[in-house]
């Protein structure tokens, strides 16, 4: 056998995508150096409750991979690269079998095979699940496999290290990265044969969202500032059913609707099941953007929200307690725990919340970014979901994209035109720049509190850049976010120390978040049409002539603002047709 | 307008691993369904003590705020639990927060749980799959056994059970309840059972299962309701059987 060359691949992120990539790297005989804010098994992937899509076709419905492919493209309102989506749907069943072999305790039928459930935007049962904690179980399985490789010395873990930026050589190729230990505050430069970013979504840019506190998009924003293209940033998915909270909007899984949950409000003193009335073909199972807009309309425009507030009922109380326990146990427990009411007996009160970013770092089908040597996979990339993501498709895309980015990184390390290695001086210069930046922050003595500023940013973004977007409001929002960016300079920190200084790290993340907020807002302003999650009353229709294009955002270092351009993409396999969930999907 | 109610937090702080602990008190504006993490976030926005001193914000760890990542474990009013789902309304005021000192303290409420992840290596906490590639089939599983596996697989490595266990701590090398239950989890998997013997042998060593004094504290502490003592007892039987086999095969 030919000797395989041992490379070092730096992977930022220990969620599903990062860990999947790491396994592929190790199997190819190379070392994976994984950097993460937290032990991998605490990554945000574990919050996913509902399930993962794959055409298993074990329910006598003649489900097909083509149908999964078509549902994804249609659900994404035809803005996804169709070749890429096809690849993902084809690989899905095999990925499920891999997870099954790794010991994921999937929910099973009496026969001992994997059970399937319904999910929004799909007529067939296609979603494998592990009770109500699918993401947790999938993540644990990969975490365990990675631990095995760590015991063998092929994985080097940098847990509680924050990625700061990439390092390019003279030729502009990414050959390393800088990171900081979150306890000792040590900043270090690392050389690597390729860097894979798998840092998840940017939910915290919106303050309150369904994501974990570490989903701040900071890493994505930083590589954008270093020249990476951002693709389709304006497409932010709003999940229709979350429990509003001051610290976090807690997700009520779409599985509640999948298992028969009904959404309603009182109208003229009687329950009004408005989704069932508006969309007879799909009823409560319409995709997320459609459901969110309907709820928004009923609450904000028709003032029919529960108790006059922005809330509607999600009702399971008509379903038998035994069935609910078996199918949704953990989810319902969460509602009781955080709200003190039993959803088996009384309808839950929910409202839409920022949930997922379809957009992210632009990548090609092998998950290379436009910066040579830098790859991206998982929620931080822009691939697969177009203008709207189907439920249970992102555990799939996170895992699948890792199976692509890992081997692609190895390919690149073997055969890419990587130019010169980083010299000691170059590594040290990159490190010093990050040290200087950090020292400046530690010594900030202004009057603004970073957490207060973050809250203001979130409120702005939530108000103007979510369910309904209006051009003049977006203009206003953009200017306001720019003011927040200015005010960032006037932050004061109370902790001037060099040990586990979470405050200083947050100040640095916040600046990255603000710059990313500008990207989302500007891209939303420029797209004068409605497509998937992006909706403008002024332009209520999809405009394929002008906007059947992906948005590309580039950082302008002079203004610190994004430059927006548009690019064509591959939609050759399925002809675009209008997306209408009032009637059954036509092919 | 009704007068704003405040809830007082008495927080045990510590600047670094070797520094001396001290306490500080903070008042946080009350609102219904406020939890401990949300309260700590309020302190971040305004890190001023009850006696008006501006201080460094309290340091702690959290991610999911949904009781699933395990990060936010701390000792609240004397009991180890997850802070994100500890509702103010269910706690006695003033509320006392302290780090879980079974583990080394990094700073304030932030602790170092590396030992738990190392234990997972020791018990070989994984299924020995050949690789991520296609092997066409996954074994069918008894749905009832799979349901047990599902329960144990909720363990979020929070460490509540280790903090509650009288036999875990600097005085002993006992591996603790969570990793024991995990060993059992892998042993009942159709593929994982092939490596059962190795896992059982590890647990016969010093600091293994024999250090459990069966005091039942762990099962009461587990926020995920994992029946720890039930599985530890079953595992104990398996270890004993293995010990006999080891003698006869020698
Ligand atoms: C509440 C909720 C429920 C969901 N339910 C479902 C579902 O049922 N089905 C489905 O398909 N999808 C679901 N999703 C979406 C899905 O969970 C995520 O999109 C997916 O898990 C993302 O995986 P990832 O690997 O890309 O990122 P993540 O799991 O978010 O991992 C990111 C990793 O990057 C690390 N990181 C980030 N920034 C840095 C940095 N600067 N330095 C160092 N490390 C860093 C983090 O520590 C973490 O390890 C849900 C999402 C939410 C919010
Ligand atoms: S039963 Fe064993 S593991 Fe559990 S608390 Fe008691 S001694 Fe610790
Ligand atoms: S067994 Fe329970 S208490 Fe112990 S670490 Fe796991 S989840 Fe926490
Ligand atoms: S923050 Fe994840 S368990 Fe509390």
Give how far B236 is from chain A: nearest CA, Å: 23
Judge whether residue A587 has pLDDT over 80: no
Domain boundaries, given as residue ranges, for chain A: 239-354, 424-548
In chain B, whose CA is at the least distance from the CA of A451? B45
**pLDDT at site A289:** 83
Residue in B172, B167, B151 with CA at minimum distance from that of residue B230: B151
Confidence grade of residue B150 (pLDDT, cut at 50, 70, 90): very high
Using an 8 Å Cβ cutoff, are B130 and A52 in contact?
A: no
Residues A218-242 have pLDDT tens digits of 999 999 999 999 999 999 999 999 9
Give how far A311 is from chain B: nearest CA, Å: 17
Query: Ligand 1 centroid vs A398 CA: distance in angstroms?
Result: 8
Architecture of domain B114-249: Orthogonal Bundle (1.10)
Using an 8 Å Cβ cutoff, are A241 and A229 in contact?
A: no
Residues A467-508 have pLDDT tens digits of 999 999 999 999 999 999 999 999 999 999 999 999 999 999
Count chain A–chain B contacts defined by CB atoms under 8 A: 180
Ligand 3 atom 8, closest CA: B158
Question: Residue B101 has which token pair?
Answer: 């000192």
Query: Ligand 4 centroid vs B68 CA: distance in angstroms?
Result: 6
In chain B, whose CA is at the least distance from the CA of A94? B134
Using an 8 Å Cβ cutoff, are B45 and A451 in contact?
A: yes
In chain A, whose CA is at the least distance from the CA of B38? A247
Task: Quote the CA–CA distance of A300 and A308 in Å, as a whole number.
Answer: 10
A133/B154 CB distance under 8 A: yes
Task: Quote the CA–CA distance of B26 and B47 in Å, as a whole number.
Answer: 8
Confidence grade of residue B249 (pLDDT, cut at 50, 70, 90): confident
> Whole-number mean pLDDT of chain B?
95
Atom of ligand 3 nearest to the CA of B156: 7
A177 backbone dihedrals φ, ψ, rounded to 5° = -160, 160
Task: Quote the CA–CA distance of A249 and A310 in Å, as a whole number.
Answer: 13
| Buried-exposed string B89-98: b where 16+ CB fall within 10 A, e elsewhere | eebeeebbbb
**pLDDT at site B67:** 95
Residues A446-470 have pLDDT tens digits of 999 999 999 999 999 999 999 999 9
Sheet holding A187-191, edge to edge: A161-168, A174-181, A187-191
Angle made by CA atoms B185, B188, B189, in degrees to the nearest 5: 90
> Measured on CA atoms in the order A272, A276, A280, A286, is the torsion positive or negative?
positive
**pLDDT at site A326:** 78
**pLDDT at site A191:** 98
Ligand 3 test: best mutation among B71, B158, B162, B231, most atoms within 8 Å of CB?
Answer: B158
Domain boundaries, given as residue ranges, for chain B: 6-111, 114-249
**pLDDT at site A309:** 87
Judge whether residue A335 has pLDDT over 80: yes
Task: Quote the CA–CA distance of A299 and B115 in Å, as a whole number.
Answer: 50
**Burial zone of A436 (CB within 10 Å; 0-12 exposed, 13-18 middle, 19+ buried):** exposed
**What CATH number labels A424-548?**
1.20.58.100
Judge whether residue B193 has pLDDT over 60: yes
Judge whether residue B217 has pLDDT over 90: yes
Angle made by CA atoms A107, A112, A118, in degrees to the nearest 5: 40
Find residue B11's DSSP bridge partners: B24, B97
A304 backbone dihedrals φ, ψ, rounded to 5° = -105, 15
Residues A172-229 have pLDDT tens digits of 999 999 999 999 999 999 999 999 999 999 999 999 899 999 999 999 999 999 999 9
Atom of ligand 3 nearest to the CA of B116: 5
What average pLDDT does this structure show over A127-134? 92
Residues A295-320 have pLDDT tens digits of 999 998 899 999 988 899 999 999 99
**Selected residues 6-45 of chain B with any CB under 8 Å from a CB in chain A:** 15-16, 31, 33-35, 37-38, 41, 44-45
Give how far B215 is from chain A: nearest CA, Å: 28
Judge whether residue B1 has pLDDT over 70: no
> Hey, is the C-beta of B132 within 8 angstroms of any chain A C-beta?
yes
**pLDDT at site A215:** 97
Judge whether residue B24 has pLDDT over 70: yes
Q: Where are the beta strands (DSSP E) in chain B?
A: 6-13, 22-29, 73-76, 79-82, 95-98, 105-107, 110-111
- pLDDT exceeding 70 applies to what percent of chain A? 98
Residue in A485, A488, A507, A486 with CA at minimum distance from that of residue A439: A507
Pairing of β A550-556 and β A561-567: antiparallel
Q: Would you tell me which CATH number, out of the four given (2.60.40.1180, 3.90.700.10, 3.50.50.60, 3.40.50.12280), belongs to the domain A239-354?
A: 3.90.700.10
Task: Quote the CA–CA distance of A36 and B205 in Å, as a whole number.
Answer: 33
Which residues of A are catalytically annotated? Answer: 288
For residue A559, what are the CA distances in angstroms to A434, A457, A521, B115? Answer: 21, 19, 15, 48
Q: Where are the beta strands (DSSP E) in A151-261?
A: 155-159, 161-168, 174-181, 187-191, 194-197, 230-231, 236-243, 250-251
**Got the DSSP string for A6-55?**
P-EEEEE--SHHHHHHHHHHHHTT-EEEEEESS-GGGSGGGG--S-EE--
> Whole-number mean pLDDT of chain A?
94
> Hey, is the C-beta of A447 within 8 angstroms of any chain B C-beta?
no
**pLDDT at site A503:** 97
Residues from chain B contacting residue A337 (CB–CB below 8 Å):
67, 85
Using an 8 Å Cβ cutoff, are A2 and A387 in contact?
A: no
**A18: Cβ below 6 Å to ligand 1?**
yes
Find residue A565's DSSP bridge partners: A552
**Selected residues 70-109 of chain B with any CB under 8 Å from a CB in chain A:** 70-71, 84-85, 87, 89, 106-107
Task: Quote the CA–CA distance of A313 and A437 in Å, as a whole number.
Answer: 48
Domain B6-111: CATH class, spelled out: alpha beta
**pLDDT at site B136:** 79
Judge whether residue A532 has pLDDT over 60: yes
B143/A108 CB distance under 8 A: yes
Confidence grade of residue A425 (pLDDT, cut at 50, 70, 90): very high
**B224: Cβ below 6 Å to ligand 4?**
no
**CA max distance for chain A:** 77
**Selected residues 39-98 of chain A with any CB under 8 Å from a CB in chain B:** 39, 41-44, 46-47, 94, 97-98
Task: Quote the CA–CA distance of A410 and A367 in Å, as a whole number.
Answer: 12
More confidently predicted of B28 and A208: B28
Judge whether B6-111 and B114-249 match in fold: no
Query: What's this model's pTM, rounded to 2 decimal places?
Result: 0.96
* Other beta carbons within 10 Å of A344: 17
Task: Quote the CA–CA distance of B245 and A492 in Å, as a whole number.
Answer: 66
Query: Ligand 2 centroid vs A61 CA: distance in angstroms?
Result: 49
**B217: Cβ below 6 Å to ligand 2?**
yes
**Burial zone of B163 (CB within 10 Å; 0-12 exposed, 13-18 middle, 19+ buried):** buried
Task: Quote the CA–CA distance of A19 and B133 in Å, as a whole number.
Answer: 15
Confidence grade of residue A255 (pLDDT, cut at 50, 70, 90): confident
The residue assigned the tokens 């640095």 is A508
Using an 8 Å Cβ cutoff, are A566 and A578 in contact?
A: no
* Other beta carbons within 10 Å of A331: 23
**pLDDT at site A336:** 85
Task: Quote the CA–CA distance of A286 and A75 in Å, as a whole number.
Answer: 10
Judge whether residue A586 has pLDDT over 80: no
More confidently predicted of A248 and A119: A248
**pLDDT at site A348:** 95
* Other beta carbons within 10 Å of A92: 25
Residues from chain A contacting residue B42 (CB–CB below 8 Å):
none
What average pLDDT does this structure show over A431-442? 98
Task: Quote the CA–CA distance of A162 and A121 in Å, as a whole number.
Answer: 37
- pLDDT exceeding 90 applies to what percent of chain A? 86
Q: What is the 3-state secondary structure (H, E, C) of A281-344?
A: CCHHHCCHHHHHHHHHHHHHHCCCCHHHCCCEEEECCCCCHHHHHHHHHHHHHHHHHHHCCCCC
Q: What ipTM does this complex have?
A: 0.97
Task: Quote the CA–CA distance of A238 and A287 in Å, as a whole number.
Answer: 11
Confidence grade of residue A381 (pLDDT, cut at 50, 70, 90): very high
**pLDDT at site A585:** 62
Judge whether A239-354 and A424-548 match in fold: no
Task: Quote the CA–CA distance of A577 and A570 in Å, as a whole number.
Answer: 15
Judge whether residue A120 has pLDDT over 80: no
What average pLDDT does this structure show over A534-542? 95
**Got the DSSP string for A245-294?**
-SS--EEPPTHHHHTT-EEEEEETTEEE-HHHHH-TTTGGGS-HHHHHHH
Angle made by CA atoms B125, B131, B137, in degrees to the nearest 5: 100
């Amino acid at each position: 056998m030919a000797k395989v060359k041992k490379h070092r691949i730096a992977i930022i992120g220990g969620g599903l995508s990062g860990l999947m990539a790491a396994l592929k790297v190790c199997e190819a005989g190379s070392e994976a150096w994984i950097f993460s804010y937290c032990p991998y098994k605490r990554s945000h992937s574990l919050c996913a409750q509902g399930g993962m899509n794959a055409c298993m076709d074990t329910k006598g419905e003649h489900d097909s991979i083509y149908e999964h492919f078509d549902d994804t493209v249609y659900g994404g309102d035809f803005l996804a690269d169709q070749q890429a989506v096809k690849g993902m749907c084809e690989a899905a069943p095999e990925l499920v079998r891999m997870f099954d072999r790794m010991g994921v305790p999937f929910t099973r039928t009496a026969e001992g095979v994997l059970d399937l459930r319904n999910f929004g935007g799909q007529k067939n049962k296609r979603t494998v699940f592990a009770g109500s904690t699918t993401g947790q179980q999938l993540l644990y399985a990969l975490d365990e496999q990675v631990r095995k490789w760590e015991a063998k010395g092929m994985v080097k873990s940098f847990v509680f290290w924050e990625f700061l930026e990439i390092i390019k050589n003279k030729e502009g190729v990414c050959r390393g990265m800088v990171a900081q230990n979150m306890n000792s505050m040590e900043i270090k430069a690392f050389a690597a044969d390729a860097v894979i970013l798998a840092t998840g979504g940017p939910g915290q840019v919106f303050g309150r969202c369904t994501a974990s506190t570490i989903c701040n998009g900071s890493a994505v924003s930083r590589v954008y500032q270093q020249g990476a293209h951002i693709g389709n940033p304006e497409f932010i998915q709003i999940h229709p059913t979350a429990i509003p909270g001051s610290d976090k909007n807690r997700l009520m899984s779409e599985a509640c609707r999948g298992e028969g949950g009904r959404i309603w409000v009182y109208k003229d003193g009687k329950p009004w099941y408005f989704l069932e009335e508006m969309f007879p073909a799909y009823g409560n199972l319409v995709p997320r953007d459609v459901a969110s807009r309907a709820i928004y309309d009923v609450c904000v425009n028709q003032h029919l929200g529960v108790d006059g507030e922005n809330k509607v009922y999600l009702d399971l109380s008509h379903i038998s307690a035994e069935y609910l326990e078996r199918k949704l146990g953990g989810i319902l427990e969460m509602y009781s725990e955080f709200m003190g009411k039993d959803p088996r007996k009384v309808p839950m009160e929910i409202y839409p919340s920022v949930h997922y970013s379809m957009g992210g770092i632009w990548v090609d089908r092998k998950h290379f970014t436009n910066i040579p040597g830098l790859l991206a996979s998982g929620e931080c990339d822009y691939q697969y979901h177009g203008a709207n993501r189907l439920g249970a498709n992102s555990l799939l895309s996170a895992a699948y994209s890792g199976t692509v980015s890992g081997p692609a990184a190895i390919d690149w390390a073997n055969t890419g035109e990587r130019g010169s290695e980083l010299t000691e001086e170059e590594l040290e210069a990159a490190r010093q720049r990050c040290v200087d930046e950090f020292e400046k922050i530690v010594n900030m003595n202004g009057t603004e509190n970073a957490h207060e500023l973050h809250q203001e940013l979130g409120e702005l973004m939530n108000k103007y850049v979510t369910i309904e977007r209006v051009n003049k409001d977006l203009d206003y929002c953009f200017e306001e976010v720019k003011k927040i960016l200015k005010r960032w300079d006037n932050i004061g920190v109370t902790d001037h120390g060099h040990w586990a200084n979470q405050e200083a790290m947050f100040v640095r993340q916040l600046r990255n978040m603000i710059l990313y907020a500008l990207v989302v807002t500007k891209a939303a302003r420029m797209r004068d049409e409605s497509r998937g999650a992006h909706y403008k009353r002024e332009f209520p229709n999809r405009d394929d002539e002008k906007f059947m294009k992906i948005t590309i955002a580039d950082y302008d270092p002079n203004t610190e603002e994004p430059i927006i351009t548009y690019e064509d993409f591959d939609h050759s396999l399925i002809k675009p047709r209008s997306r209408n969930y009032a009637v059954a999907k036509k092919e | 307008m009704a007068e704003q109610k405040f809830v007082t937090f008495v927080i045990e702080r510590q600047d670094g691993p070797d520094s001396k602990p001290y306490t500080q008190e903070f008042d946080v504006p009350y609102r219904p369904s406020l939890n401990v993490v949300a309260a700590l976030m309020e302190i971040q926005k305004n890190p001023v003590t009850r006696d008006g001193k501006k201080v460094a914000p309290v340091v702690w760890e959290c991610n999911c705020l949904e009781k699933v990542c395990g990060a936010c474990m701390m000792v609240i009013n004397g009991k180890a639990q997850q802070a994100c789902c500890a509702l103010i309304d269910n706690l006695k005021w003033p509320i006392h927060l302290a780090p879980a000192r079974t583990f080394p303290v990094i700073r304030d409420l932030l602790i170092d749980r590396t030992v738990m992840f190392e234990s997972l290596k020791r018990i070989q906490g994984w299924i020995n799959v050949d690789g991520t590639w296609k092997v066409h089939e996954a074994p069918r599983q008894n749905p009832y056994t799979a349901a047990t596996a599902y329960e144990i697989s909720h363990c979020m490595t929070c460490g509540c059970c280790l903090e509650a266990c009288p036999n875990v701590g600097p005085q002993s090398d006992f591996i603790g309840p969570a990793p024991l239950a995990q060993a059992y989890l892998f042993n009942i998997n159709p593929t994982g059972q092939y490596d059962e013997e190795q896992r059982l042998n590890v647990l016969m060593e010093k600091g293994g299962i024999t250090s459990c004094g069966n005091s039942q504290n762990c099962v009461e502490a587990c926020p995920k309701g994992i029946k720890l003592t039930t599985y530890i007892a079953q595992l104990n039987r398996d270890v004993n059987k293995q010990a006999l086999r080891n003698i006869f095969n020698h």
